[in-house]
Amino acid sequence: MQRASRLKRELSLLSTEPPPGITCWQNQNQLDDLRAQILGGADTPYEKGIFNLEIVVPERYPFEPPKIRFLTPIYHPNIDSAGRICLDVLKLPPKGAWRPSLNISTLLSSIQLLMAEPNPDDPLMADISSEYKYNKQLFLRNAREWTQKHASP
């Protein structure tokens, strides 16, 4: 019950005051199955891209973080080919930084920030990470190509 009312409140806030470049909605009226879109930020290789995400809200939310993954392929050191995201706020302590005071809006904003500023020191994709660190021009070109191929409207 607490989860349902909190999710309704969060979704209402997301629809009336969404963070810039982020939208989120229920998938087929399932309260625990959400979809989100993040627009690639200006001056990033993801610019003009529209990235779709799946959000599965666990039974124990907000005491457990939602499972979020990219449905749109993205070339990024912290996001793997299955769309899984390496981000501390998506994991429970001690390894993660999830707290019940965080919400879906905050998580989506954190993912948007991660897209703009990858963390090559905590990669899911080692090859993309070393490319980001040691051959940034190649990384930027590849990321732009993927964005045009997979995330263009």
Residues in a beta bridge with 84: 69
For range 32-37, the mean pLDDT: 96
CATH number, domain containing residue 88: 3.10.110.10
Q: How many domains is the chain built from?
A: 1
To 10 degrees, the CA torsion angle through 64, 10, 25, 70?
Answer: -40
**Residue 13 predicted with pLDDT over 90:** yes
Confidence of residue 47 (pLDDT cuts 50, 70, 90): very high
Residues in a beta bridge with 56: 33, 67
In the chain, the percentage of residues whose pLDDT exceeds 90 is 94
Cα 110 to its chain centre, rounded Å, is 7
pTM to 2 decimal places: 0.96
**Domain carrying residue 98:** 1-151
Mean pLDDT of the chain: 96
The tokens for 47 are 């610019």
First to last CA, the chain: 38
Catalytic residues, by residue number, are: 86
Confidence of residue 45 (pLDDT cuts 50, 70, 90): very high
